[in-house]
Amino acid sequence: MVCGLLWFRRRPYAFAFRAEIRRGSADGARGKAKTRRATSFACSGILHSWQKFFEALEPRLVLGKSFSQKEKRARRNRAQGESSGSRLLDPKTLEYGSVSLGGQVTETVAEHIEKLGGVATSSQLKEAGYAPGVIEYALSSGKIDRLTRGVYCSLDVLDDEFAAVTMRWPKCILSHGTALYLLGLSDRVPGNLSVSVPRDYNPQELRRTHPDMRIHRESDRLYGLGKTTVKDPMGIIVPTYDAERSIADIIQERAKGTANPQIVRDAIVGYFRKGDRDLPKLAKMCEALGVRDELQRYLEVLE
């Protein structure tokens, strides 16, 4: 309101209004009519001032983003029909959440997530230029789905717990029985996921959300040993350990009495049927985990 009054005081009709008031006070009843006309004229002037104020402010209110001088010039150029290459977000050109390039919709949020493999985090989408409101609009309109907090996916990606956990908690590496299943060395679908995390990592929220998950804390020396990636059943690339590290992990679990011996046997048999097996690497992994002798006993039984 203060801005409008200050604007009004500088306009020509403000001086006319004050002059009419002075003349009206001297002319009696006739002056009252003039005063009413002057008041009406002044009110319309204030409304006009507010309209001009918001028209000047409107370009800065696109999705709550303040544009740089370069982006403002690009918007003015587009309004004049000139071509522009600035990448802006404009609600008038959004369709279920999209990136606007020169005023034209080029890629929706759903298309971008599909290009990333079907799953993307909110930080990945923001880095690509999608504002939070655009992501939320795509979600509410049914074009994308939410796997877990901060992780979005395409509609054809069903309840993918492998991707949901590793995307929300990037330090989690799928390991042990879960890794064997993803690598095709076990046909037992893991009821509860097994993940490995750094020893100094305290995933309290992960424990609250997945109380039945088996979380293995690893030293700095072992945490990254044998780390790789693999496609899960939904085709999403997730972090896991390679075959040699996974077999060494499950042998170690068996030595502690916490793994099913049949799972260990099936994993070793499946590994030896692979064409790309690497026995020296397997022996080195088992030695790093302190189960070299246990591996030797399994090999003797298989012979």
| Sole residue written with tokens 């907090």 | 149
Rounded Cα gap, residues 80 and 73, in angstroms: 11
Q: What is the pLDDT of residue 191?
A: 84
Contacts of 248 (CB under 8 A, 6+ apart): 282, 285, 286, 288, 289, 291, 295
Residues paired with residue 240 on neighbouring β-strands, in sequence order? 174, 228
Give the pLDDT score at 148: 79
Residue 239, SS3 per DSSP: strand
Q: Tens-digit pLDDT profile for the chain (303 aa)?
A: 444 444 445 555 455 555 555 555 555 555 555 556 655 655 665 656 656 655 554 444 444 444 555 565 665 665 555 433 333 344 444 444 444 444 333 478 888 888 887 888 888 888 888 888 888 888 888 888 887 788 888 877 657 889 889 988 999 999 999 999 999 999 888 888 999 999 999 888 888 888 999 999 999 999 999 999 999 988 889 999 999 999 999 999 999 988 888 899 899 999 988 888 899 999 999 999 999 999 998 888 876
Rounded distance between C-alpha atoms, residue 270 and residue 286, angstroms: 17
Q: How far is the C-alpha of 277 from the C-alpha of 271, rounded, in Å?
A: 7
Read off the amino acid at residue 47: L
Cα(170)–Cα(165) distance, integer angstroms: 8
Residue 136, amino acid: E
pLDDT of 218: 95
Give the model's pLDDT for residue 226: 96
Cβ count within 10 A of residue 253: 20
User: At residue 98, what are phi and psi to the nearest 5 degrees?
Assistant: -150, 170
